[in-house]
Structure 1
Amino acid sequence: MKWFLFFVFVCCVIAGGYLYWQWYWPNSTIVEPSMKGLEKPIYYKGKLYEVSASGEKESLKLPLSFMQEVVDPDIRYEKESQSVILTTKDKVVRLKTNELTAVVNEKPFELKFTVDQQDDTVLIPMEPVLDLYRLQIKESEETGVVTIHKEGDTIRWGTVSGQPGEKAKAIRSEPTIKAPKYRDLDPGESVMIWSALEEWYEVQLSNGWVGFMKKEHVVPGQEEVIPVEPEKPGFVPKPLDGGKINLTWQQVYNRNPDTSQIGPMPGLNVISPQWFHLENEEGLLKNMADASFVQWAHSQNYQVWALVTNSFDPKRTSEALSTYDRRMNMIKQLVTFGKMYQLQGINIDFENVYLKDKENMVQFVREAVPLLHEQGLVVSIDVTVKGGSETYSLFMDREAIGPLVDYMMVMTYDEHWASSPKAGSVASLPWVEKGIVRIMEEDGVPPSKLVLGVPYYTRIWTEEIKDGKTEVSSKAVSMEKIQDLIKEKQLTPAFDEKTGQNYVEYTEDGKKIKIWIEDATSIRSRAELVNKYNLAGIASWSRGFETPDIWEVIKETLAQP
């Protein structure tokens, strides 16, 4: 019996010892991190990325995919031109694969190392881009691990607990004592703490390895913030008389207007002539500019923000936007025209664009702005209200373009367009207000950048019953023609609360005529929206459709506090 009890006791001791070893005895196996087989691993904020760097020190290159994910999502690689394109507020950098000559704002500079392409991986040399993104890069001579820090990042430091000479503490592959350890750390050694998991910290060593240490073995210390260099002063548009923008577009089809026939436009401070038009797929622009028009405008104290269109040709536009060389062809012409004609700005009016070209449209603006700003040119872009077809509205990424340009002109017209199946206002007040508010709220474009585009034209709608169905047609006319029509027909307009406009209708030859009138009343209410939301100003399409009193209406309304 005693022997049996002794045997049971021994078994219990053995079982207890096994269980203790199984659950509580730390694993003493030492391994190295697998690094997922990467030759030169990259870590950012304790995360191992599944791509490898190449080279070392000044020849270090990082994969494009890593740079896009961590550093700048707008870094672009174009297969067609085998180019890496990097943009900042004031620089456009192009690095071509396997070429040692790059360009910054189209000025050449020499590289020590090229962009490489290895299978599907594009590798970017760090030496020319460190100043662009102000990265801190640490390479471990021991492990080859590359650790990246960006300006503004916060690093929480910790120290291995204990006194000198005390037992070292393990860093392990998983947050459990049964996981193999990478090494033992002496008391006082520094680690970077990236996260906390119950009783464990995820930490990174100076050699780049990331593992887990028990919280009781790490004393959290100070936080280090990677210094942020002060932003260099950016481009600032020249001040305008009256403060707010009061711009009008000048239509130019076959020839420029006779400026001697243009009457006073009190309060106007910017005129935007329709001068440059995309002529072919290579980005050649048709130039209809007139130096004498600029001289006249300047004599009237108007700035000139020349308008460039894509000729509203989607196929031609698609080709012209498709590569760096074609986009830059357009941009360099605009820079040249800016110098040649002493312009103060460029107004981009690209309409009727395929949805598939949405990103290329943004890239064109992203590349154009630094070069145009370098020449002192204000950059504005025309956008529709949100809604409608792909080529009308959806192709324009207002959220992405808003931070790039100086101003965004919101063309709050046509609510009811020329071939609309239903008669209605060109731009009712509620529709206008909703359109501008949506861009502020949904796309984050600040009011200080938004310019309210208003129509000077009115549509005369004709409704005719044919075969029991109502057919609708319209024609656009000037404010003056509407006033002449009202006098001729001896009509009495009534104010329409729903649209915020004067309205008139009459019957002629069995047809019903409907007119939502653009006049001082409607323009004043739009200008009041500029004040209500503290927008940058107002823009009108287009000069020549207004009556003379409109200029004083806008001037007086914008001047109100």
Structure 2
Amino acid sequence: MESMMEAAGRSGRTKRRKWPWLMLTLAVICGALLGAYYYIVYMPNTKHVQPDFSGKKKPVFYQGGMLEDQALGQKESLKLSFDTVKERIDPSLIYEQSSESTIITTQDKVVRLRTSELTGMLNEKPFNLKFPLEKSDNRLYLPIDPLKELYGVELRESEETGAVFLFKEGETVEWYKTVSFPDKPDKMIPMRSDPTIKAPIYADLKQGDSVMVWKDTGEWLRVQLPNGYLGYVLKSQLMQDHQETIPKQGPRPPFVPKQPVTGKINMTWEQIVTKGPDTSKIPAMPGLDIVSPTWFQLEDGEGTIKNIADPAYVKWAHTNGYQVWALFSNGFEPKRTTEALSTYDKRMKMIKQLLSFAQMYSLQGINIDFENVSVKDKQNLVQFVREMTPFLHEQGLIVSMDVTPKSSSESWSMFYDRKALSDALDYLMLMAYDEYWASSPKAGSVASLPWVEKSVVDLLKEDKIPPNKLVLGIPFYTRVWTEEQKDGKTQVSSRAVFMDMPQRVIKEQKLTPVFSPETGQNYVEYKEDGKLNKIWIEDETSVKARMALVRKYNLAGVASWRRGYESPEAWNWIRSLLETP
């Protein structure tokens, strides 16, 4: 029998013989795992895939992004979709369904293009197109020639793939080129679909190939080839080449009116209902530059304008050194306004009448006063102004528009797109009055100083209106508020009065005005026939306080509503502050 010692020795030798095999097996497994890990993590993907531009035959790219709509045609017949032009080039572009017209407005041009027609209208003068507007797949496409001329855009087309590149004037493009390997002249640089070596390859780039760089993601750069292919290349495999700036069109000459206003504007409105005033009875108005008679009014929804202009008034104004910026009103009729603004033809009808009147009466400007407008007409009102201004400027006329302070009232305030209007106009007249209006259930100032200042600041800061385009409108009137107790309730009524009326009441009633810090105005109250009368006074104090706001915010000037309501001294109050350096 085998002893226990011998059995134990044999078992130990068996275990020692198995141990190297176990170690070898583990080493093989670890090596395989490490190899697999290296392959998964470090071995680049060599698979090639072909970019398909999401199935588009004529993809359009802007700043490294592919746009939703593709292009039509090629070379000279190339066309961009209406939506592409509106989204990327001109947000103010409009399409009018009723007449199948596309309308483009720039600082000095109004262009109308009709679908399928080779004749367009530029400032109402015909011009020829090489290629017409075209509809395809329920989309409207615009030819590139007018786009290049009007906007200074540049389009480049790849003969290889049909891809189209859109560039705007003044933009820059960063060009890089792939690095060179002198010892490996045949080495290719992969452009991958994503910023990782595991992404498939879109294209193999030769050494020295040029690419546009759109984004730096750290280790990788997002690049685009001249054929439109977009992908990623390792930053270490690219080097900066040059920066390209898209050329700008020649500078557009600024509009210069025939008779410019020097210094701050000092304008007053002349309210005319049926017949003009006897100019021989109008007293001197020292410092006044401009009169704005309310001569023109929208008469119907077709765009007909009622004209009550007076050549004798114009002669008087010019003799006294005043410019005439005739006022054009919508009559404050919302339905009529909606209809008149609804089509290009109606808007152009109004514009042509105003041009004719301006020439007929030797006007220097048109002042637009559209009030009580439906908020749905907000964009049509902007379009009307955008279309009007180039025509009036062409005739040397200054274009201004009256706007109210900002509020939540749709028909009084919210229908004004003040920023868009300001961009098209020479001046905005802020009608900073009627804080408390005629039928207000509560008595208050027509225009307290804090309210006026807030109205100015809102336009300057929120709407970004340039101060040299903003004219402060001030009231030459106030209201006598009457409070009467009936059935335990206070009933409020008011009547508008000229500036001199409160001064007469003060003398007759032997009153002492009290300055109200809350309104920045002098205030009186008195009883008459058992009723309490309240007046926030418009006088030297309030007028000079408003002029101080013009100076504080460096506004373009002042406009007053209206001539005939003022105290004679008001002109000197205004002039003393407007002309002070």
| Mean Cα deviation higher: 81-90 or 341-350 | 81-90
Rounded to whole Å, the distance in 1 between the matches of 2:226 and 2:514 is: 78
Q: How does 1:459-538 map to 2 (within 5 A)?
A: 459-538=479-558
Cα offset, 1:388, TM superposition: 4.2
Tell me, yes or no, if the aligned pair for 1:242 and 1:267 is still in contact at 8 Å: no
| Mean Cα deviation higher: 119-128 or 446-455 | 119-128
Cα offset, 1:319, TM superposition: 1.4
Deviations 1:104-151 (A, max 9, x none): 111111111111222432211111220111112110000000011111
Q: How does 1:266-305 map to 2 (within 5 A)?
A: 266-305=286-325
Deviations 1:141-192 (A, max 9, x none): 0000001111121211111112362401111122222222122111111111
Correspondence for 2:161? 143
Correspondence for 1:73? 91
Deviations 1:190-225 (A, max 9, x none): 111111223211111111211111112111233222
Rounded to whole Å, the distance in 2 between the matches of 1:349 and 1:483 is: 31
Cα offset, 1:54, TM superposition: 0.3
Correspondence for 1:168? 188
Correspondence for 1:109? 127
Matched letter for residue 266 of structure 2: N
Q: How does 1:156-555 map to 2 (within 5 A)?
A: 156-163=174-181, 165-237=185-257, 243-555=263-575
Cα offset, 1:395, TM superposition: 0.8
Deviations 1:484-542 (A, max 9, x none): 33333333323323222222111011100111111222212211221222111110001
Correspondence for 1:132? 150
Cα offset, 1:11, TM superposition: 5.5
Correspondence for 2:6? none
Matched letter for residue 377 of structure 1: L
Rounded to whole Å, the distance in 1 between the matches of 2:261 and 2:296 is: 26
Rounded to whole Å, the distance in 1 between the matches of 2:525 and 2:35 is: 100
Q: SS of the counterpart of 1:117?
A: strand
Rounded to whole Å, the distance in 2 between the matches of 1:58 and 1:241 is: 46
Cα offset, 1:81, TM superposition: 2.3
Rounded to whole Å, the distance in 1 between the matches of 2:529 and 2:30 is: 112
Q: How does 1:4-15 map to 2 (within 5 A)?
A: 14-15=32-33
Correspondence for 2:5? none
Correspondence for 1:94? 112
Gaps in structure 1 of 5+ consecutive residues: none
Over the residues paired in the alignment, what is the CA RMSD in angstroms? Answer: 1.8
Rounded to whole Å, the distance in 1 between the matches of 2:319 and 2:434 is: 34
Tell me, yes or no, if the aligned pair for 1:240 and 1:269 is still in contact at 8 Å: no
Gaps in structure 2 of 5+ consecutive residues: 1-17
Tell me, yes or no, if the aligned pair for 2:154 and 2:166 is still in contact at 8 Å: yes
Tell me, yes or no, if the aligned pair for 1:160 and 1:190 is still in contact at 8 Å: yes
Matched, 1:82 2:108: no
Tell me, yes or no, if the aligned pair for 1:135 and 1:148 is still in contact at 8 Å: yes
Correspondence for 2:10? none
Deviations 1:234-280 (A, max 9, x none): 11345656621110000011111121121111111100000111111
Tell me, yes or no, if the aligned pair for 2:515 and 2:521 is still in contact at 8 Å: yes
Deviations 1:433-477 (A, max 9, x none): 111111111111111111110111111111000000000000111
Could you say which structure has the larger radius of gyration? 2
Identity of aligned residues (%): 55
Cα offset, 1:21, TM superposition: 3.5
Distance 1:182 1:57, change over 3 A: same
| Mean Cα deviation higher: 195-204 or 113-122 | 113-122
Cα offset, 1:232, TM superposition: 1.4
| Mean Cα deviation higher: 482-491 or 145-154 | 482-491
Tell me, yes or no, if the aligned pair for 2:112 and 2:121 is still in contact at 8 Å: yes
Tell me, yes or no, if the aligned pair for 1:410 and 1:452 is still in contact at 8 Å: yes
Q: SS of the counterpart of 1:523?
A: helix
TM-score, normalised to structure 1, is 0.96
Tell me, yes or no, if the aligned pair for 1:38 and 1:50 is still in contact at 8 Å: no
TM-score, normalised to structure 2, is 0.93
Would you say how many aligned residue pairs link Structure 1 and Structure 2?
A: 561
